[in-house]
Chains A and B, each alone.
Chain A
Amino acid sequence: GAGVSQSPSNKVTEKGKDVELRCDPISGHTALYWYRQSLGQGLEFLIYFQGNSAPDKSGLPSDRFSAERTGGSVSTLTIQRTQQEDSAVYLCASSSSYNTGELFFGEGSRLTVL
Protein backbone atom coordinates (compact mmCIF):
# COMPACT_ATOMS: atom_id res chain seq x y z
CA GLY A 1 0.00 0.00 0.00
CA ALA A 2 0.90 3.66 -0.11
CA GLY A 3 0.75 4.32 3.63
CA VAL A 4 3.25 4.00 6.46
CA SER A 5 3.84 0.35 7.23
CA GLN A 6 4.97 -0.96 10.61
CA SER A 7 5.97 -4.42 11.73
CA PRO A 8 5.35 -6.41 13.76
CA SER A 9 1.86 -5.26 14.67
CA ASN A 10 2.12 -7.10 17.96
CA LYS A 11 5.17 -8.25 19.88
CA VAL A 12 5.25 -10.06 23.21
CA THR A 13 8.64 -10.47 24.79
CA GLU A 14 10.22 -11.34 28.08
CA LYS A 15 11.88 -8.80 30.32
CA GLY A 16 15.53 -8.43 29.43
CA LYS A 17 15.20 -9.42 25.77
CA ASP A 18 16.00 -7.07 22.88
CA VAL A 19 13.33 -6.11 20.35
CA GLU A 20 13.39 -4.46 16.94
CA LEU A 21 10.46 -2.57 15.46
CA ARG A 22 10.40 -1.66 11.79
CA CYS A 23 8.90 1.28 9.95
CA ASP A 24 8.57 1.67 6.19
CA PRO A 25 7.56 5.28 5.45
CA ILE A 26 5.66 6.66 2.51
CA SER A 27 7.89 6.71 -0.54
CA GLY A 28 9.53 10.10 -1.02
CA HIS A 29 8.89 11.35 2.49
CA THR A 30 12.08 12.83 3.86
CA ALA A 31 11.09 13.02 7.52
CA LEU A 32 10.43 10.07 9.80
CA TYR A 33 9.29 10.13 13.43
CA TRP A 34 8.91 7.60 16.22
CA TYR A 35 6.39 8.18 18.99
CA ARG A 36 5.35 6.05 21.94
CA GLN A 37 1.74 5.84 23.04
CA SER A 38 1.10 4.62 26.56
CA LEU A 39 -2.28 4.33 28.21
CA GLY A 40 -3.35 7.72 29.49
CA GLN A 41 -0.06 9.33 28.46
CA GLY A 42 -0.80 10.56 24.98
CA LEU A 43 1.92 10.43 22.37
CA GLU A 44 5.50 10.81 23.54
CA PHE A 45 8.08 11.92 20.98
CA LEU A 46 11.09 9.62 20.73
CA ILE A 47 13.23 10.44 17.70
CA TYR A 48 13.11 12.36 14.42
CA PHE A 49 15.01 11.83 11.16
CA GLN A 50 15.10 14.49 8.45
CA GLY A 51 16.94 13.70 5.23
CA ASN A 52 20.66 13.35 5.77
CA SER A 53 20.75 15.52 8.89
CA ALA A 54 21.75 14.14 12.28
CA PRO A 55 18.67 12.70 13.97
CA ASP A 56 16.97 14.49 16.84
CA LYS A 57 17.22 11.93 19.64
CA SER A 58 16.04 14.23 22.38
CA GLY A 59 12.99 12.11 23.23
CA LEU A 60 14.67 8.76 23.73
CA PRO A 61 13.96 7.80 27.36
CA SER A 62 17.19 5.90 28.02
CA ASP A 63 20.30 4.54 26.32
CA ARG A 64 18.50 1.23 25.90
CA PHE A 65 16.60 2.86 23.04
CA SER A 66 18.17 3.50 19.66
CA ALA A 67 17.02 3.96 16.11
CA GLU A 68 18.51 4.06 12.68
CA ARG A 69 17.29 4.91 9.25
CA THR A 70 18.98 3.20 6.33
CA GLY A 71 19.16 4.79 2.91
CA GLY A 72 16.82 7.54 3.94
CA SER A 73 13.91 5.14 3.97
CA VAL A 74 13.23 2.22 6.32
CA SER A 75 13.80 2.79 10.03
CA THR A 76 14.36 0.36 12.87
CA LEU A 77 13.73 1.19 16.52
CA THR A 78 15.69 -1.08 18.86
CA ILE A 79 14.98 -1.51 22.55
CA GLN A 80 17.65 -3.41 24.44
CA ARG A 81 17.10 -5.26 27.71
CA THR A 82 13.39 -4.53 27.66
CA GLN A 83 11.60 -3.58 30.87
CA GLN A 84 7.92 -3.83 31.72
CA GLU A 85 7.57 -0.05 31.54
CA ASP A 86 8.53 -0.25 27.86
CA SER A 87 5.15 -1.84 27.14
CA ALA A 88 3.32 0.56 24.83
CA VAL A 89 2.28 1.13 21.25
CA TYR A 90 5.16 2.45 19.17
CA LEU A 91 3.99 4.67 16.33
CA CYS A 92 5.93 5.69 13.28
CA ALA A 93 5.05 8.67 11.13
CA SER A 94 6.49 10.25 8.02
CA SER A 95 6.09 13.59 6.36
CA SER A 96 7.19 15.58 3.37
CA SER A 97 8.24 19.19 3.38
CA TYR A 98 5.31 19.77 1.04
CA ASN A 99 2.70 18.50 3.47
CA THR A 100 2.75 21.66 5.58
CA GLY A 101 2.66 19.95 8.87
CA GLU A 102 0.79 16.72 8.25
CA LEU A 103 2.26 13.58 9.73
CA PHE A 104 1.13 10.30 8.23
CA PHE A 105 1.02 7.62 10.88
CA GLY A 106 1.30 3.89 10.70
CA GLU A 107 -0.99 1.66 12.75
CA GLY A 108 1.70 1.04 15.31
CA SER A 109 3.54 -1.85 16.90
CA ARG A 110 2.11 -2.96 20.23
CA LEU A 111 4.87 -4.14 22.53
CA THR A 112 4.11 -6.17 25.64
CA VAL A 113 6.96 -6.98 28.01
CA LEU A 114 6.19 -9.78 30.45
Chain B
Amino acid sequence: AQSVTQPDIHITVSEGASLELRCNYSYGATPYLFWYVQSPGQGLQLLLKYFSGDTLVQGIKGFEAEFKRSQSSFNLRKPSVHWSDAAEYFCAVGRSFGNEKLTFGTGTRLTIIP
Protein backbone atom coordinates (compact mmCIF):
# COMPACT_ATOMS: atom_id res chain seq x y z
CA ALA B 1 0.00 0.00 0.00
CA GLN B 2 1.14 3.50 -0.68
CA SER B 3 1.98 5.90 2.13
CA VAL B 4 3.25 9.42 2.61
CA THR B 5 5.37 10.82 5.42
CA GLN B 6 5.71 14.48 6.23
CA PRO B 7 8.23 14.51 9.06
CA ASP B 8 7.76 18.14 10.05
CA ILE B 9 4.52 18.87 11.88
CA HIS B 10 5.17 22.60 12.23
CA ILE B 11 7.73 24.90 10.63
CA THR B 12 8.31 28.58 11.37
CA VAL B 13 10.22 30.79 8.94
CA SER B 14 10.82 34.50 8.61
CA GLU B 15 9.17 36.41 5.82
CA GLY B 16 11.55 36.56 2.87
CA ALA B 17 13.44 33.45 3.91
CA SER B 18 13.62 30.30 1.84
CA LEU B 19 11.42 27.30 2.56
CA GLU B 20 11.66 23.56 2.11
CA LEU B 21 8.93 21.18 3.22
CA ARG B 22 9.81 17.51 3.24
CA CYS B 23 7.77 14.67 1.83
CA ASN B 24 8.70 11.00 1.54
CA TYR B 25 6.51 8.41 -0.11
CA SER B 26 6.30 4.67 -0.28
CA TYR B 27 4.98 3.12 -3.46
CA GLY B 28 6.10 0.23 -5.61
CA ALA B 29 5.76 1.82 -9.02
CA THR B 30 6.19 5.29 -10.40
CA PRO B 31 3.96 7.45 -8.25
CA TYR B 32 1.80 10.41 -9.07
CA LEU B 33 2.75 13.08 -6.52
CA PHE B 34 0.94 16.21 -5.41
CA TRP B 35 1.22 19.13 -3.04
CA TYR B 36 -1.93 20.79 -1.76
CA VAL B 37 -2.28 23.87 0.43
CA GLN B 38 -5.05 24.55 2.93
CA SER B 39 -5.33 28.15 4.02
CA PRO B 40 -7.29 28.94 7.20
CA GLY B 41 -11.00 28.49 6.65
CA GLN B 42 -10.57 27.39 3.05
CA GLY B 43 -10.60 24.17 1.10
CA LEU B 44 -7.51 22.46 -0.20
CA GLN B 45 -5.98 23.87 -3.36
CA LEU B 46 -3.55 22.12 -5.68
CA LEU B 47 -0.09 23.72 -5.72
CA LEU B 48 1.63 21.38 -8.16
CA LYS B 49 1.81 17.80 -9.37
CA TYR B 50 4.28 15.34 -10.83
CA PHE B 51 3.39 12.53 -13.21
CA SER B 52 6.44 11.98 -15.39
CA GLY B 53 9.18 13.78 -17.28
CA ASP B 54 11.14 16.66 -15.80
CA THR B 55 11.68 15.93 -12.13
CA LEU B 56 11.54 19.61 -11.17
CA VAL B 57 7.98 20.88 -11.38
CA GLN B 58 6.75 24.41 -11.07
CA GLY B 59 3.50 25.28 -9.38
CA ILE B 60 1.39 28.24 -8.45
CA LYS B 61 2.37 30.99 -6.03
CA GLY B 62 6.08 30.58 -6.80
CA PHE B 63 6.37 27.05 -5.40
CA GLU B 64 8.38 24.23 -6.93
CA ALA B 65 9.05 20.61 -6.04
CA GLU B 66 11.65 18.08 -7.05
CA PHE B 67 11.00 14.36 -7.48
CA LYS B 68 13.96 12.26 -6.38
CA ARG B 69 13.31 8.59 -7.03
CA SER B 70 16.49 7.46 -5.27
CA GLN B 71 15.36 9.16 -2.07
CA SER B 72 11.61 8.54 -2.49
CA SER B 73 11.13 12.21 -1.88
CA PHE B 74 9.10 15.07 -3.31
CA ASN B 75 10.12 18.14 -1.32
CA LEU B 76 8.38 21.46 -1.77
CA ARG B 77 10.45 24.63 -2.01
CA LYS B 78 10.03 28.36 -2.30
CA PRO B 79 12.95 30.80 -2.49
CA SER B 80 11.28 33.61 -0.56
CA VAL B 81 8.12 33.20 1.52
CA HIS B 82 5.41 35.78 1.96
CA TRP B 83 3.13 36.21 4.98
CA SER B 84 0.26 34.93 2.86
CA ASP B 85 2.00 31.55 2.57
CA ALA B 86 1.07 30.73 6.16
CA ALA B 87 -1.09 27.62 5.81
CA GLU B 88 -1.16 23.84 6.12
CA TYR B 89 0.62 21.93 3.37
CA PHE B 90 -0.20 18.37 2.39
CA CYS B 91 1.78 16.00 0.23
CA ALA B 92 -0.16 13.22 -1.50
CA VAL B 93 0.52 10.18 -3.68
CA GLY B 94 -1.76 8.56 -6.21
CA ARG B 95 -1.65 5.50 -8.39
CA SER B 96 -3.07 6.37 -11.78
CA PHE B 97 -5.00 8.70 -13.97
CA GLY B 98 -8.74 8.52 -13.71
CA ASN B 99 -8.65 7.30 -10.12
CA GLU B 100 -7.40 10.08 -7.96
CA LYS B 101 -7.85 8.23 -4.72
CA LEU B 102 -4.98 10.02 -3.12
CA THR B 103 -3.13 9.07 0.03
CA PHE B 104 -2.26 12.17 2.00
CA GLY B 105 0.42 12.90 4.54
CA THR B 106 -0.43 14.34 7.94
CA GLY B 107 0.46 17.84 6.84
CA THR B 108 2.97 20.52 7.78
CA ARG B 109 1.75 23.74 9.32
CA LEU B 110 3.75 26.75 8.16
CA THR B 111 3.97 29.87 10.30
CA ILE B 112 5.54 33.05 8.93
CA ILE B 113 7.08 35.58 11.29
CA PRO B 114 7.83 39.19 10.34
In the complex, what residue of chain A is closest to B42 when comparing beta carbons? A107
Q: Check: B104 CB closer than 8 A to any chain A CB.
A: yes
Interface residues on A, range: 20 to 34
| Contact between B43 and A107, CB atoms less than 8 A apart | yes
CB neighbours (8 Å) of B94 from chain A are: 101
Distance of B89 from chain A, by nearest CB (Å): 11
Give bound CA distance, A95 to B36, whole Å. 15
Q: Check: B61 CB closer than 8 A to any chain A CB.
A: no
Please judge, given known A-B contacts A100-B49, A101-B32, whether A45 and B103 are in contact too, CB under 8 Å. Answer: yes
Q: What 1/0 mask marks residues of chain B from 19 to 55 whose CB sits below 8 Å from any chain A CB?
A: 0000000000000101010000111111001010000
Which 3 pairs of residues, A with B, have the shortest CB-CB distance? A42-B106, A105-B43, A43-B104
